[in-house]
Structure 1
């Protein structure tokens, strides 16, 4: 029995690493990452009196361009009309200029040190956002657990008492589906 428990405990780090890898892979292939979010916000920002697109900080995107404007081969939907070097700077800022395996290792290291980083969408620390919503999450978890036990324990007792009856078959059918 002890060897079984030790084997199961040995697989915990591998399971967590597998979950992290799958999560990382999904985030990498999903559209609408932080760079695209910033680009779309820039495209939606107010147009100044001269009719130029501004970056929200008063910087004229057309004047900031030192090269050809608008990369038609860009992977980002909001990149049309923006300087490709600006897009590269955004990728560098968010760390997307690094190879995939390096980004994964950085993510794992940060998770181990409880550095969840800064939210791309809320401009604040992720850990503070987690702590902000933790009371509500704990409350929902406790209430749902209480409701589950209040339903399942009496149902289980009734199924044992009426074993093989129509009630038992109907309850089993409902539970399975």
Structure 2
């Protein structure tokens, strides 16, 4: 096992290098880089007029020495290959760099946005697994009954509705017309003045609509996957043998069927759990005015804030590779028949 883990860890290095290299090469050819973005914002701030503030003009009318100073500030006075090597050196020390436009370390920016993404992702994860798995088991046991048909129809209808469309409907109905829930934010403006009980209620009140909009897609997938896995195991010979020996239906289901049927569910558990902490839902965050990782990534791409783009890419790719390894190791933990060789 340790040899297998070592090989997988070594294979992560070229994979991570390839992801960073391809992304770095692509952004070199994207027009309107950080220098141009800075010049455009500086011109707008200086009051260059309505037309000058809204029409992109690059470095027109700017002192060339000033442009060279800005390039040196951002490190663009160095060749691309040198900048890439220096970036790899920083990442090897887990230094994600500093944002061009927010003048903050990328790690600090991620830490500031994490509460929103954790709130959305963790609740989505808990509801998806805590409700969808028992529902999938119940559907498998009652396969073909009215309960199975009705719940399948409800789950598939929910899955067919995009999250942002459902979010708009929830905002209009429950936030606008009925005014049962707030329209924006993760907490109220006076949250610091509230007691602990009132804080919890206020937080759940704000998070209810965005979590509902996010949960339907993953909820449907988990429920149907659980149902199909249980149905496949229930029809196998060892289940018939266990019943023939006189074992009760509950004992057959939870002691014999559960372990084999949960293999596809459990092996996806690490990725879903880690994703709950680092998943950014851009449309949901924008719709409900939540400042999370999704919005941070989008704004960094639009503003050509390359340290944020590359830093978050490095961190999330590394986390994804490690999570994939943990998921593969879970196969052996759940099913001893799987061997590393």
> Paired residue for 2:58?
78
Distance of aligned partners of 1:19 and 1:148 in 2 relative to their CA distance in 1, 3 Å threshold:
farther
Match of 1:142 among 122, 135, 144: 122
- C-alpha displacement of 1:31: 3.4
CA RMSD of superposed structures (Å): 3.3
The answer to whether the 8 Å contact 2:99/2:106 transfers is: yes
- C-alpha displacement of 1:5: 4.1
Q: 1:30 & 1:155 partners in 2: Cα distance?
A: 47
Q: Deviations over 1:54-90 (max 9, x none)?
A: xxxxxxxxxxxxxxxxxxxxxx843111122321222
Q: Kindly report which structure 2 residues correspond to 1:152-167, keeping only aligned pairs within 5 A, or say none.
A: 152-163=132-143, 167=149
Q: 2:6 & 2:96 partners in 1: Cα distance?
A: 30
Secondary structure, aligned partner of 1:16? helix
Q: Which has the higher helix share?
A: 2
Gaps of 5+ in 2: 49-55, 160-220, 225-341
Q: 1:103 & 1:3 partners in 2: Cα distance?
A: 35
Distance of aligned partners of 1:3 and 1:105 in 2 relative to their CA distance in 1, 3 Å threshold:
same
> Paired residue for 1:113?
93
Secondary structure, aligned partner of 1:81? coil
Query: What TM-score do the two structures reach when normalised by structure 1?
Result: 0.65
Gaps of 5+ in 1: 49-75
The answer to whether the 8 Å contact 1:43/1:78 transfers is: no
Distance of aligned partners of 1:13 and 1:164 in 2 relative to their CA distance in 1, 3 Å threshold:
farther
> Paired residue for 1:98?
78
Distance of aligned partners of 1:111 and 1:154 in 2 relative to their CA distance in 1, 3 Å threshold:
same
Q: How many residues align?
A: 149
Q: Deviations over 1:118-148 (max 9, x none)?
A: 2112122222222222333333331121122
Distance of aligned partners of 1:147 and 1:26 in 2 relative to their CA distance in 1, 3 Å threshold:
farther
Stretch deviating more after TM superposition (164-173 or 19-28): 164-173
Distance of aligned partners of 1:30 and 1:154 in 2 relative to their CA distance in 1, 3 Å threshold:
farther
